[in-house]
A = this chain, B = another copy of it.
Amino acid sequence: SNSIAEVVVASDPLPSWNESSTKQQIIDFVTSTTTTGSPDFVPEADRIAVFDNDGTLWAEQPMYFQLIYAVDFIKKEASKHPDWQTQEPFKSVLSGDLSAVMKGGEKALLEMLMVSHAGMTTEEFGKSVNSWLQTATHPKTGKAYSQMIYQPMLELLEYLRANGYKTFIVSGGGIDFLRVFAEKVYGIPPYQVIGSSIKAKYDVVEGQPIITKLPEINFIDDKEGKPIAIHLHIGKRPVFAAGNSDGDYAMLEYTSKGDGPRFGMIIHHTDSLREYAYDRDSPIGRLEKGLDNAPMFNWSIVDMKTDWKVIFPFD
């Protein structure tokens, strides 16, 4: 029978990755952790790989897509809420003045999220997101948001799974929002999706159980929240982690400091032509500490411009 290394040679598992040292590091890691007898062998039960979503698996510029969903939801529902015409942050959302919305800070964002994510059943919310995903398009590419995913990362997810890794999303985005597309788009089932959440309640209405989303934060899955959520939902320390911003620093650190072989990956947005270029000064996906300390942890920095042959599936 063929060893995994031979199969890898026979057919390139990462065709959208250029032949760089980054690609070689990934293949070396997967080969050494899955080859029986290798000193770095990891039992299949411990092959846990975690991925941030915004800016790691799909794009996040010019604004988090979930926030664009909230804006579009508010516009769609405005006729039912005449008070929004005069009430911030809705007034600015409706007049298209997003910089004014941003000036409202976290409170304004929270109000937008609560209005567009709470006060409905989980089924209603899922349907609403799904219908938005089928009609809304990205302002720069004109493509559906579910196509704004990184082809090289899809190949990486598939490559890891083909080698016995379980792939999880660990995102600051909303867990119910992510689950609407994660299975179809990334091949990641809902029970392997971890995200931020609002509280919910269970009721039986006319004999039918419903779960209603409440306007109250349950958990923010960002920064130090990521290892906490990994512990709560997965219960094992990952051996592979990928992120793109300092919001992923704790998750990468938690992963890398485990015993035995570990892989930490940072997606560095360096391609202003094919995607966007941003890092230290970006309000979205700010990456500073991660870049500075990557050598100390031996994290692989993926240079999107030079490491990736294509970025999006439609490229």
Of B191, B201, B202, which one neighbours A191 at CB under 8 angstroms? B191
Complex interface residues of chain A between 14 and 64 (CB less than 8 A to chain B)? 45, 48
Q: Specify the chain B residue showing the minimal Cβ separation from A178.
A: B235
A166 adjacent to B183 (CB under 8 Å): no
A175 touches B (CB below 8 Å): yes
A172 at the interface (CB under 8 A from B): no
**Cβ of B250 and Cβ of A228 under 8 Å apart?**
no
Whole-angstrom distance from the CB of A242 to the nearest CB of chain B? 17
Given the interface pairs A45-B189, A189-B45, the reply to whether A175 lies near B211 with Cβ below 8 Å is no
Q: Which of A218-264 contact B (CB under 8 A)?
A: 218, 224-225, 227-228, 231-236, 250, 253-254, 257
- Known A-B contacts A211-B228, A253-B209, A257-B207; the reply to A45 vs B233 at CB < 8 A is no
Chain B nearest CB, measured from A253 CB (Å): 6
Inter-subunit contact A232/B175 (CB<8 Å): yes
How many copies the complex holds: the figure is 2
A45 to B179, CA, bound (A): 14
Interface stretch, picked from A83-91, A129-137, A192-200, is A192-200
A151-204 contacts to B (CB < 8 Å): 166, 168, 175-176, 179, 183, 189-193, 197, 200-202, 204
Q: How many Å from the CB of A183 to the closest CB on chain B?
A: 7
A208 is an interface residue with CB less than 8 A from chain B: yes
Interface residue? A122 (CB, 8 A): yes
**Given A45-B189, A209-B253, A253-B209, A235-B202 contact (CB < 8 Å):** no
CB neighbours (8 Å) of A191 from chain B are 48, 166, 168, 191-192, 233-236
Give the distance in Å from the alpha carbon of A112 to the alpha carbon of B227 in the complex: 27
| A236 with B202: CB separation less than 8 A | no
Query: Complex: how many Å from CA A236 to CA B211?
Result: 12
| Of the residues B176, B225, B257, contact of A209 by C-beta under 8 Å | B257
Contacts of A197 in B (CB 8 A): 232
Residue of B nearest to A257 (CB): B209
A233 touches B231 (CB 8 A): no
Q: Which residues of B contact A225 (CB under 8 A)?
A: 202
Report chain B residues within 8 Å CB of A231: 122, 200, 211
In whole angstroms, what is the CA distance A197 to B219 when docked? Answer: 13
Minimum CB–CB distance for A274 against chain B, Å: 33
**Inter-subunit contact B253/A204 (CB<8 Å):** yes
Q: Which B residues are CB-close (under 8 A) to A235?
A: 175-176, 179, 189-191, 193
Closest 6 CB pairs of A and B: A190-B235, A202-B224, A209-B254, A191-B234, A202-B227, A179-B235
Q: List 15 A-B contacts (CB under 8 A).
A: A45-B183, A166-B191, A175-B232, A175-B235, A189-B235, A190-B236, A191-B233, A200-B231, A201-B228, A202-B254, A204-B253, A209-B257, A211-B231, A218-B232, A233-B233
